[in-house]
Amino acid sequence: MSQEAQILTFIIVVSLISLGYAGWLASWVLKKDMGTPKMQEISNAIKEGAVAFLNRQYKTIISLAIVTAIIIFGIYYGVQNDAALAWKTGVAFIFGSFSSALAGYVGMHIAIRSNVRTAAASTRSLNEALKVSLRGGAVSGITIVAMSLLGISILFLLYGGLSNPTHVPYMLVGYGFGASFVALFAQLGGGIYTKAADVGADLVGKVEAGIPEDDPRNPAVIADLVGDNVGDCAGRGADLFESTAAENIGAMILGIALYQHFGLDGILFPLLARAFGLIAAMFGVLIVKTKEDGEPMQALNKGYYLTSILAAIGFYIATDLLLNGNIWFFYAGLVGIVTSILFVYITQYYTEYRYRPVKEIAESAKTGPATVIITGFAVALENTVLPAIVIGIALIMSYYFGLKGSALEMANNPAAGVIIGGGFFGTAIATMGMLSTSAYVLAMDTFGPITDNAGGIIEMSDQPEAIRKKTDKLDAVGNTTKALTKGYAVGSAALAAFLLFNAYLDDVGELMQKSKHFIGQTTQQIYALSHTINLADVHIFVAGLLGAMLVFIFSSLAIAAVGKAAYSVISDVRAQFKENPGIMKGTSKPDYGRTVDIVTKTALKKMVLPGILPILSPIVIGLIFREFGFGPQAVAGFIMVATIVGVLFAIVLNNGGGAWDNAKKYVETGALGGKGSDAHKAAVVGDTVGDPFKDTAGPSLHVLIKLLATVTLVMAPLFL
């Protein structure tokens, strides 16, 4: 077995061990006690709703995916006239969609079983509750990352990557597109569901009927708890599944540029780095524990730092094994790891009420809801400054490290020839660095809905105050980790997108070399031609303008969908209160299932249009501008400007929403008059406005950014 085959085997083995580890975590969690019958009853209601939603959602997604797979096959078969490539791309797409869906399913399967066990554990000790919830979340995190790694490794092997490594990565793009495809719908559908249920439950419960949050008399309360799972857990899981998948494939494509120097090793490097990241996360999860009066966030942070350090060490080993120990490439990876930590800090500053921004929003609640919105919106926009600067510095630094690393290789081995695109390989390595902790981050993220649910179960099953305090503590930490994950996801989306559209441009160059129109041009000339996206050209400028517009209309559709779906919840709850007056008196139970059913239907209906838009629009742009002779370049301009605007606008929406949420929580701590005051009422308006921003439109934009890149990678042959 060649060294490369050994490494690929090692990667596959690590993926399988990780899946085994996730299985072990799952059985550890499932063995835990399930609490009182009352708790189980509530948990079962949540479980039922979540499973029903996921089943129906997957049904919709599968039918859309099959149509898309046929179209992809048709395009490759018709345009490229290459039956083998058509089959491979189509199958990769199906396989990618399927893996993403399966990973989401498994993660949620455990999450909706961890909630009640966390609730039960909290009656015993904080440490046990923390462990159950984090390990339940880690099943999701580890499974997702391991599945994505396994899928790509197997496809690479099956498609003959060991013998034809410079072409096979292009055949994998279908896998990335499949993953993004499912991710977009999962995030959109889940995001619409969760916020429609949340907003609807709040408006009709807290505002109209005057009952507290998670009150069992509210018919929308189960829908709200289901929403946490299908939105935060399944949605973000799919988001990061596709991040890691698409980024792996993109980085492999960029690695081709260094083939003369590293051979297959440069192409396998992303996979090995990811495998080490998985190992790091497994250790990180295990060390998390807390004392009864401890601070759970600190415990989680400890695990995060351990994971980061181990991932950095793994990175170093991978560089040593596969990239001739070139220190510059290791530095590029470090840039990514540092970027992820900076993003976590920036997100905290802008969304926690210990700091100025959220305090300012809360202060403005004194003059009513209008000023809360005005101030909050100003803060949300201000949010873009630091992330933009950090991303900018990270891209430029890793680019120059990539150039330096390439120069070093060329100096050491001049015979192997000139490296073109070594700078972009540097940015790809930074992206890998940033994503190397993704399994752990995802575990922290899924910890969020589990503890949120546990809190709801405790509340609804009338547990004593002391236990509620414990789950409240965990719930608050969960809110923070959810916000941090979004910051992490958007930062990595920015880097991943940059990597992906460079992969797209490489792909275009590859296609140009095959095309008869470019015969006689040197590799350098074709590279320059395919990698020049001249924004001063009127076609590219207009395409860019349309790309920016796409971000706005997509956000508009996502936000409007929540409004409409929430309205369906409100109508149903009002009808239930009217039909059955016993509900409010507490003498009869509301029909939770009916509300769950209605919000499921509306959310799935409303996810289709915003979901199809980003898939079709680059294709339409490509076909229109092909008529002017600018197909591939216009598409590139379109997705690049969309990426820039999408990343920043996602930050506006995510952190703005998070800040409003916490401004309300700040008032609820007793500041500015506390709960029930006019300031609180004003802050609640801000919180409600922020809901669809931070949990529907914002996170969906992360996926959109990467989907645009993967759809163009797959559709590239159409545009030439």
According to CB under 8 A, which residues from 561 to 590 bind a second copy?
A: 562-563, 566-567, 570
Question: Binding residue for a second copy (CB under 8 A) from 538, 581, 586, 616?
Answer: 538
| Comparison of 358 and 380: residue with beta carbon closer to a second copy | 380
Residues 6+ apart with CB under 8 A from 492: 243, 247, 340, 431, 434, 435, 438
Residues 6+ apart with CB under 8 A from 258: 266, 406, 409, 419, 422, 425
Using CB under 8 A, count the residues that bind a second copy. Answer: 77
According to CB under 8 A, which residues from 406 to 465 bind a second copy?
A: 423-424, 427
| Comparison of 241 and 377: residue with beta carbon closer to a second copy | 377
Question: Binding residue for a second copy (CB under 8 A) from 411, 415, 466, 536?
Answer: 536
Shortest Cβ 127–a second copy spacing (Å):
39
**CB-facing half-sphere around the CA of 715: CA atoms within 13 A:** 27
Residue 254 lies near a second copy (rule: CB under 8 A): no
Residue 459 CA to residue 39 CA, distance in Å, equals 10
Shortest Cβ 385–a second copy spacing (Å):
5
According to CB under 8 A, which residues from 198 to 237 bind a second copy?
A: 199, 203, 207
Q: For residue 459, give Cα distances in angstroms to 122, 194, 205, 439.
A: 12, 19, 15, 30
Q: Which of 89, 58, 53 is nearest to 71 (CA)?
A: 89
Question: Binding residue for a second copy (CB under 8 A) from 545, 581, 588, 674?
Answer: 545
Contact map string, positions 142 to 181, toward a second copy, x by CB under 8 A: ----------------------------------------
- Of 9-17, 79-87, 134-142, 545-553, the window that binds a second copy (rule: CB under 8 A) is 545-553
Measured in whole angstroms, how far is the alpha carbon of residue 663 from the centre of its chain? 25
Question: Binding residue for a second copy (CB under 8 A) from 30, 381, 408, 420?
Answer: 381
Residue 548 CA to residue 96 CA, distance in Å, equals 28
Residue 692 lies near a second copy (rule: CB under 8 A): yes
Contact 112, 454 (CB under 8 A): no
- Of 323-331, 442-450, 646-654, 709-717, the window that binds a second copy (rule: CB under 8 A) is 646-654
Shortest Cβ 250–a second copy spacing (Å):
14
Residue 384 lies near a second copy (rule: CB under 8 A): yes
| Comparison of 416 and 720: residue with beta carbon closer to a second copy | 720
According to CB under 8 A, which residues from 490 to 519 bind a second copy?
A: 498, 501-502, 505
Angle between helices 37-75 and 698-719 (to 10 degrees): 20
Question: Binding residue for a second copy (CB under 8 A) from 145, 533, 607, 659?
Answer: 533
Residue 133 CA to residue 289 CA, distance in Å, equals 11
Residue 43 CA to residue 117 CA, distance in Å, equals 9
Locate all alpha helices (DSSP H) within 163-263, ordered by sequence: 168-171, 173-201, 221-227, 236-255, 259-262
Residue 634 lies near a second copy (rule: CB under 8 A): no
Question: Binding residue for a second copy (CB under 8 A) from 54, 264, 419, 647?
Answer: 647
Residue 192 lies near a second copy (rule: CB under 8 A): no
Q: Is 343 left (phi over 0), alpha (psi -120 to 50) or beta?
A: alpha
Residue 287 CA to residue 291 CA, distance in Å, equals 13
Shortest Cβ 546–a second copy spacing (Å):
6
Residue 16 CA to residue 270 CA, distance in Å, equals 17
According to CB under 8 A, which residues from 290 to 329 bind a second copy?
A: none
Contact 503, 249 (CB under 8 A): yes
| Comparison of 203 and 716: residue with beta carbon closer to a second copy | 203
Question: Binding residue for a second copy (CB under 8 A) from 430, 542, 604, 708?
Answer: 542
Q: For residue 276, give Cα distances in angstroms to 208, 279, 345.
A: 52, 5, 24
- CB-based burial of residue 376 (10 Å sphere; 0-12 exposed, 13-18 middle, 19+ buried)? buried
According to CB under 8 A, which residues from 356 to 375 bind a second copy?
A: 364, 367-371, 373-375
Residue 523 lies near a second copy (rule: CB under 8 A): no
Shortest Cβ 621–a second copy spacing (Å):
10
According to CB under 8 A, which residues from 51 to 90 bind a second copy?
A: none
Residue 549 lies near a second copy (rule: CB under 8 A): yes
